[in-house]
Amino acid sequence: MKNQSAQAKKMRYTKSQSLLQLALVIAIVVVANLVLNPFFFRIDLTKEKRFSLGDASKKLAEKVTEPLYIKVFLEGEFPAGFKRLSKSSKEMLDEFAAYSHGNIQYEFIDPFLDANAKKTEDIIVELGNKGIQPTNVQIKKEDEFAQKIIIPGALAYYKGVEYPMNFLKSQFGQDPEEVINSSIELLEYEIANTLRKATQEKTKKIAIIEDHGELGRWEMAEAQAMLSQFYEVERLPLSIQVPQRLNDFAGIIIAKPTKEISEFDKFKIDQYIMNGGKVLWLIESQLAEIDSLQNENIFVSTTYPTHVDDMLFKYGIRINANIIQDLQCNGIPILSGLKDGVPQQKLLPWPFYPVAPGAENNSIVKGIEPVWFQFASSIDTLANPDIKKTVLFQSSPYSRVLAAPARVDLNTARLDLQPEMFRRNSNGNFIMGVLLEGKFISNFRYRFDASKTPDMPFKDFVENNKMIVISDGDVIRNQVKKSTGEVFPLGYDRYTRETFGNKKLIQNCIDYLCDDSGIIEIRSKEIKLRLLDKGKVKKERNFWTMINIGLPIALILLFGFINKWIRKRKYAA
């Protein structure tokens, strides 16, 4: 009896101790929550910090002072890759919502739920008009494959304005798994850029230079409208400006000059660079236009008399007097015959229109669609240790150059061009776009006479600056339908109905050069793709299925057995 009484007393003591410990843990949790409630922090244990927002993203989320509602169209039955994209989108939106103090709200919907074929088509057209691009994927149902339209994007609503977001970032020739991974890497940038559009106050100015035969207002209407979302954009006749006037602008765009740039105008640009100004050069070497083939099947290119070669040479590059041909190219419509008296056309590859993906590991071109070039020239980078050269675009290995004066023949499109024809005389991979960063020396360093112009300040170098040079002015030109004046989107070819990455390229170039918020650096974020070995998965599927199902059950049974044995020994008489 005495032993039973002692044992009961011991059990009551143990029980009270357990209750006291539980109460203490609850009290600590409550106190910790009260103490830490004013402070906000999140812990990301992933190696790539995939759930951690950059400082620029956090600041943009904090700028959302009113409810911002996001409708995401990634709900429904998807292939595994799009499920991963949907999940990652939700996780990223959770992060933005947390830093917006609850002002960012979202929901995931299936836009095609209970929709018939006609309504589905209407929804696709409606969302397409708003700037959201659908995609067609193949899914397996039992033993059959079916096509499914997916809208991998979202619409954001803020202060009565809609902002489209496209989450799928396809690249030329990329594996589908890599496309999904690239899209997940750029989710933060896509959302942050939308918040930037919605909340940013325009404080910086961009100048589009005029007076030297550059592209006109209508040819740059799309680029100017796009840049106007973030900057104050002004067309600036350079010849009537004093050199100091350029310093009012964060960046300038020189888009396809076709006439001579005078020495004084070159001096203005040079001194603008020496004072830290940023330049996007879109310079063509050869006068070659597709319109020249309307009346004749052949023309010979001539060299544009811009006379900026000495400046670019001083800054570290040379645009060669040639035209690139590339098997990886866009097409053009060619007259193929008559049918019932009506001319018939068909699209044929046009090697003078290279289509090039951007460099993989550069924030300017990462994740954008391939860019469409027209009659581009090759660029040489020169030995200059003070200037870092980063190649943004190259032609494919199956490309060659035609030295100026280049003969452009419409019948080239009708030829059966083979890779061997291009690799015979060249090694391909010609540079068409390059980023220059570092110390720049003035082109007028030993030519400027301060005694003759004492009121004009002069700098002979800048310690740290950057510029971008692209050897094709048409990269920034949108097509215009002359009969109606209709302006087509930048990067869209009205003949092939293909959309290229030109628009995003121009925005990224200007952001990299002029925007100091750090948003462009978000594009550098990398998430490693850790794919399973599909062959091994198929071979060992049953084994690992049994392990995943049986091992947890076995561990629970083992734990229960050990716990029972310990308790039996502890409380045994």
pLDDT one-digit tens code per residue, 449-472:
665 666 678 899 999 999 999 999
Tell me, yes or no, whether 48 lies in a domain.
Answer: no
pTM score: 0.77
- Residue 529 domain-assigned? no
Q: Are residues 388 and 323 in the same domain?
A: yes
98 membership: H or E segment, kind and range: helix 80-99
Tokens 């292939």 correspond to 79
How does strand 461-470 pair with strand 278-282?
parallel
Distance from C-alpha of 340 to C-alpha of 475, rounded to nearest angstrom: 38
CB atoms within 10 A of CB 66: 9
Sign of CA dihedral 523, 527, 533, 537: negative
Residue with tokens 């041909």: 325
Non-local (6+) Cβ contacts of 398 within 8 A are 326, 327, 328, 419, 422, 423, 428
Same domain, 501 and 542: no
Does 528 reside within a domain? no
Residues of the chain scoring pLDDT < 70: 1-18, 35-51, 138-146, 170-175, 338, 340-341, 423-427, 449-455, 524-538, 570-573
**Which of 198, 215, 235 finishes a domain?**
198
Kindly state the helix (H) or strand (E) to which residue 124 belongs, with its residue range. helix 117-129
Task: Please check whether residue 420 lies inside any domain of the structure.
Answer: yes
Token pair in block for residue 488: 């087509």
Q: Can you list the pairs that 273-276 forms with residues at least 24 positions away whose Cβ atoms lie under 8 Å?
A: 273/315, 273/440, 273/462, 273/465, 273/467, 274/440, 274/442, 274/459, 274/460, 274/461, 274/462, 275/247, 275/459, 275/462, 276/462, 276/465
* 514/539 same-domain check: no
Token readout for 566 is: 């310990």
What's the distance, Cα to Cα, between the start and end of the chain in Å?
A: 11
Q: What is the pLDDT of residue 522?
A: 77
Q: Provide the pLDDT for residue 233.
A: 94
Do 336 and 464 lie in a common domain? yes
Residues 404, 497, single domain; the answer is yes
Q: 266 and 148 share a domain?
A: no
Radius of gyration of the chain (CA): 31
Is 46 inside a domain boundary?
A: no
Q: Is 264 helix (H, G, I), strand (E, B) or coil?
A: helix
Residues 187 and 207 in one domain: no
**Shared domain check, 281 and 246:** yes
Among the candidates 182, 198, 214, a domain finishes at 198
Domain boundary among 157, 181, 198: 198
The β-bridge relationship of strands 68-72 and 153-158 is antiparallel
User: Residue 551 has what pLDDT?
Assistant: 82
Following CA atoms 214, 215, 216, 222 in sequence, which dihedral angle do they give, to the nearest 10 degrees? -140
Which residues are paired to 492 by β-bridges?
499
pLDDT digits (tens, 9 = 90+) for 321-356: 999 999 999 999 887 776 766 777 788 999 999 999
Q: Pull the structure tokens for residue 220.
A: 């740059």
Q: What angle do CA 428, 169, 220 make, to 5 degrees?
A: 75
Burial 69-95 (b: 16+ CB within 10 A, else e): ebbbbbebebbebbebbbebbeebbeb
- Only one residue has tokens 């004046």, namely 485
Q: Identify whether 134 is preceded by a cis peptide bond (ω within 30 of 0).
A: no
Same domain, 345 and 266: yes
322 & 397 share domain: yes
**H-state helical runs in 162-245:** 176-185, 187-199, 221-227
Read off φ and ψ for residue 154, nearest 5 degrees: -155, 165
Report CA-CA distances (Å) from 232 to 105, 229, 249, 250, 521.
30, 8, 9, 10, 22
State both tokens at 85: 């994209």
Q: Same domain, yes or no, for 234 and 91?
A: no
Q: How far apart are CA 19 and CA 131, in angstroms?
A: 60
125 found inside a domain? yes
- Token pair 């765009």: residue: 253
Q: Retrieve residue 230's tokens.
A: 């973030």
Question: Do the beta carbons of residue 496 and residue 32 sit within 8 Å?
Answer: no
* Integer Cα distance of 95 and 293 in angstroms: 54
Q: Which residue has the tokens 């008559």?
A: 338
Domain that holds residue 472: 201-523
Taking residue 164's Cβ as centre, other Cβ atoms within 10 Å add up to 16
Give the H/E segment covering residue 193.
helix 187-199
> Helix or strand or coil: residue 202?
coil
**Cα–Cα distances in angstroms (integers) from residue 505 to residues 312, 450, 476, in the given order:** 21, 40, 9
Q: What is the pLDDT of residue 549?
A: 83
49 in a structural domain:
no
Q: Are residues 265 and 346 in the same domain?
A: yes
| Cα–Cα nearest to 530, from 47, 104, 133 | 47
> What CATH number is associated with residue 516?
3.40.50.880
Residue 517 lies in a domain: yes
CA distances from 178 to 172, 229, 315, 532 (A): 11, 31, 36, 13
Question: Total domain count for the chain?
Answer: 4
In whole angstroms, how far apart are CA 367 and each of 110, 189, 466, 472? 26, 11, 22, 21
CB atoms within 10 A of CB 494: 14
pLDDT number for residue 24: 81
pLDDT attached to residue 260: 94
Rounded to whole angstroms, the Cα distance separating 152 from 465 reads 38
